[in-house]
Structure 1
Amino acid sequence: MSEMLFPNGWLPYLVGGVLIGLGTAVIYLTTAIPAGASTFLESTLSYASDRPRFQKYRGSRDWRVVFSVAIVLGAAAYAFTLGDGPWTTDVQPWRLAVGGLLVGVGTRLGKGCTSGHGVCGIGSGSRTSLVGVATFVAVAVGTAQLVAALGVSP
C-alpha cells in the first residue's frame, strides 16, 4: 500500500512539505502576508494594467514577482537535474492549457488557491479555508472519477 501511495518513497514528499511550510512561515513572519501563489501571480498584472484591482499590490509586487518566478525556476531546475526532463506528462498540450485556464478561473472564484487556503488558511485555523480546501478536493476527486469513467486518456 505504501508503494502505491508513495511511488518514489516518502522522503521526497516529507522534504517538499517541510520546505513549503518553512517558506510559508518565512514569508509570513517577514511580511505579514499569507503566501498565496494565485495572488502573487495576479500581482504581476500591476506592471501591465492600470485597473485598480491590480494596483493594490503595487507596494509589494517586486518581491512577489521574485517569488512567482522562483516557483517556475525551481520546478525547471528540478526537472532538468533530478527529474526526467521538462516534459513529464502524456497529456496533450491543449488539455493542459484548458485545465490551466479552468484552474485560474477557479482560484479567482474561490478567492485563492490551494497554497493560500490549504497551507496558510488551514494552518491559521480559517474556517473559510477549510471549506474551500474541502471543496477543491471534492471537485478534484469527482472530476478524476468522471474522467476515468468516461475512459478519457491523455
Structure 2
Amino acid sequence: MENTLWPLIGGVFIGLSAILLMLSIGKIAGVSGIAWGAFTRETDRDDRSWRWLFLLGIVAGAFLLHLITGKPIPEVANTPVKAVIAGLIVGIGVKLGNGCTSGHGVCGISRLSARSIVATVIFMATAIVTVAVSQNL
C-alpha cells in the first residue's frame, strides 16, 4: 500500500493546487510558464508575487514530504554537465510544445484541450523512446 499511497496523495495535492489556482486567480498551473513569468520583466510586480509563492510552495512541499516520511533525498546520478544539457533540452521542448507537462498534462487534459492531449501523447512517447535508448547506451 505504501508504494501507491504517497503518489496518490501527491496527485491529489497537485490537482487541488491546479484547481485552487484556476478558481482563485484564473491561472493555469503550468510550471514552466509560472517560472518564466517569475524570472522575467514581462509581467508586472503583482503578477510575479503569486508566481514566486507558487514556486516556493513546490520546494517547500518537497522538503515537507522529506521531513514527514524521513526518507533521504535521492542522489542525482548524473554529472552537473549532463543535468545542464538535459535542462536545456527540456527547455527547448517546452518552448516548442508551448508548455510543459504540468500545463498540458494536468491542466490542459482536464479542460479537454485537443492541443494538450496531443502534446501529452508526444511527451509520453518521447519519454518512452528516450528511456529505451538511454538504457541501451
2:33 corresponds, among 26, 39, 42, to: 39
1:101-112 map, 5 Å: 101-112=88-99
Q: Deviations over 1:80-133 (max 9, x none)?
A: 553543443322232222212211221111111011000000000000000000
Answer whether contact 1:43 1:65 (CA < 8 A) is retained.
Answer: no
| C-alpha separation in 2, matches of 1:87 and 1:124 | 34
Query: How many residues of Structure 1 are paired with residues of Structure 2 in the alignment?
Result: 136
Greater Cα radius of gyration, structure 1 or 2: 1
Q: Judge which range, 120-129 or 97-106, deviates more.
A: 97-106
| C-alpha separation in 2, matches of 1:101 and 1:71 | 21
Answer whether contact 1:36 1:115 (CA < 8 A) is retained.
Answer: yes
| C-alpha separation in 1, matches of 2:54 and 2:73 | 20
Give me the identity figure in percent: 35
TM-score under structure 2 length normalisation:
0.88
Structure 2: gaps (5+ residues): none
- 4+ long deviations beyond 6 Å: none
Structure 1: gaps (5+ residues): 1-5, 50-54
1:138 corresponds, among 114, 125, 128, to: 125
TM-score under structure 1 length normalisation:
0.79
1:12-23 map, 5 Å: 12-23=6-17
Answer whether contact 1:35 1:116 (CA < 8 A) is retained.
Answer: yes
Q: Alpha carbon RMSD of aligned pairs, Å? A: 1.9
| C-alpha separation in 2, matches of 1:94 and 1:43 | 26
